[in-house]
Structure 1
Amino acid sequence: MSRIEMSGLLLSLTGNFDRKPLHILQDAWTKYHQDEVQRGATLPAFLTTDVPPILQKILKGRQVKGFSLSDIAALGRLIEYSTLTVSTMQNWVKRDFKDYLGAPRQGKKYSVNQAALLFIIDDLKAALDFESIRQLFRMIFLKPDIEEDDLVEPAQLYNGYSALFEEIKQSPLLQVQAMTARSTPKDYCLKREGAIRGAIEKLMNRLSHLTRQQKEAVKNMLMISAISVQTCYYQSVARQYVNAALFLDF
């Protein structure tokens, strides 16, 4: 699944999205099985699809309010370029990001926003150290133990930069703007940054209640997160090339 699909799934589970969880999963599955769909072989294709227990609950229409770390890891494995594991998240909730994640907030399970925060950390760690991530969280989520003062909820933030990443990836105009000045590395970076900032402005219309300073903090967070996702992509491609080189070394 793409991040925009996963973020939509999280928001839909809270009822704050215009699409149902099942429809999001159906579209995501269809996108990766277009050949089978066109040949009318959807049933055999789905029967060979590994469906994690957490998704089985959603497919059956059961209400899902919280997740175990195993559930979140299973969802993370579905996200492109993601490397999330249970052991990694255990370190985050118990030590590295304990102040922001804390104990499970849905009984013995983690909330949608806690799951989104884990996905955000996984994306940001591709480009930033943990202390930098914590400093960014202090700007966006203010007091760690109070959710109501967040400038933007983690699930909304995840959806925001996921949409930004998709727009950059799919828009020919943004790609052209970002790649037209390759005479020097500095020119290229400045051009790409300008293209990203233009896309961010569209997303900020949803947060009209924030002050100017708060909007700037969210804008910076969106840009950093979107670029970190691109870093995840390049790291994934690099790993694939390394694996190919080692495998083909006859």
Structure 2
Amino acid sequence: MGKIQLRRSVMVQLLLSLKGIHELSPEEVMKQQLPSDQTNQIPGFIKKLSKQRDKGELGLSTNEIVILGNFCELTSLKSTSVQNWVKRDIKEIIGPPELGKKYSVEQAALLLIVKDLKTIFDFETVRSLLMKVFNTISDRNDDLISPLMFYKLYTDVLEQVKNVEIDNNRQFEKKLFVQTKRLLQKQTSLSEAQIDSICHVTVAAVLAVLTYHFQTRAKAFIDKESESTKNG
């Protein structure tokens, strides 16, 4: 029985459920995706929050966000790191907890976005990228797109480019841009310039996730070879 690993598309559904805009409860979303021998690993707070859906959007502690993040493929979060982020490194980006002492689902999505970007960018670059999409970081009202919908956007793009052959870096980046633009053009309220801004940051996020994926595969390959050499 391995540890829970959810596809990013499932993580999006889980976050939507926690926000109260999904037909299934958070527990139901997980049960629908997990093999039967892993359903007993669903954390208690997910079961508890599932019973409280009628109360509106459900808040999350940093520890709960870390647990959720570590369920997601190609994501590795540490509680101490997230605590440092919200208290120091990205304090002005994440802001104070929006739901009493708990963080909102949008803030949780923002932390997952930061984690993805942080795999290859420093915090200064991360802030610069996010400012292109979210404008005044502390004010969600002037966002071009919400953090959760942005997380969903680059998750959708990742799903679509899985089988794309990477034969030329520039062509691949162009394909990512075109795929993103196609998805965004359904947002009729956005101008062409705003769509382009979101596309640029989305491509950066997708490339960051893919880079981390290849780094992880390379490390696993080397570790496997080292183990084979020892046993040989």
Residue from 56, 72, 77 that aligns with 2:47: 56
Structure 2 equivalent of residue 208 of structure 1: 188
SS at match of 1:209: coil
Structure 2 equivalent of residue 218 of structure 1: 198
Structure 1 equivalent of residue 85 of structure 2: 92
Which runs of structure 2 are paired with 1:1-250 in the superposition (5 Å)?
Answer: 1-17=6-22, 19-29=24-34, 33=35, 42=36, 45-46=37-38, 49-58=40-49, 60-63=50-53, 65-169=58-162, 172=163, 175=164, 178-179=165-166, 182=167, 188-250=168-230
TM-score normalised to structure 1 length = 0.81
C-alpha offsets along residues 97-144 of structure 1, whole Å, 9 cap, x if unaligned? 110112111100111011001100111112212111100111111112
What is the letter of the counterpart of residue 151 of structure 1? L
Q: CA deviation at 1:194?
A: 2.5
Report sequence identity in percent: 29
C-alpha offsets along residues 200-242 of structure 1, whole Å, 9 cap, x if unaligned? 1221034221222211111111111111111121122123223
SS at match of 2:137: coil
C-alpha offsets along residues 156-184 of structure 1, whole Å, 9 cap, x if unaligned? 10011011101111xx4xx1xx34xx4xx
**RMSD between superposed Cα atoms in Å:** 1.9
- Asked if 1 retains the 8 angstrom alpha-carbon contact of 2:30 and 2:42, the reply is no
- Asked if 1 retains the 8 angstrom alpha-carbon contact of 2:132 and 2:201, the reply is no
How many correspondences in the alignment?
A: 222
Q: CA deviation at 1:19?
A: 4.9
Inter-CA distance 19–201: structure 2 relative to 1 (3 Å threshold): farther
Inter-CA distance 103–7: structure 2 relative to 1 (3 Å threshold): same
Larger deviation: 154-163 or 19-28?
19-28
Q: Aligned partners of 2:211 and 2:77: how far apart in 1?
A: 15
Query: Moved runs in structure 1, 4+ residues, more than 6 A?
Result: none
- Asked if 2 retains the 8 angstrom alpha-carbon contact of 1:100 and 1:144, the reply is yes
Structure 2 equivalent of residue 38 of structure 1: none
Q: Aligned partners of 1:141 and 1:168: how far apart in 2?
A: 25
TM-score normalised to structure 2 length = 0.87
SS at match of 1:248: helix
Larger deviation: 7-16 or 119-128?
7-16
Larger deviation: 93-102 or 12-21?
12-21
Q: Aligned partners of 2:133 and 2:100: how far apart in 1?
A: 26
C-alpha offsets along residues 62-97 of structure 1, whole Å, 9 cap, x if unaligned? 336111111011101101111111111111111111
Q: Which runs of 5+ in 2 are unaligned?
A: 1-5
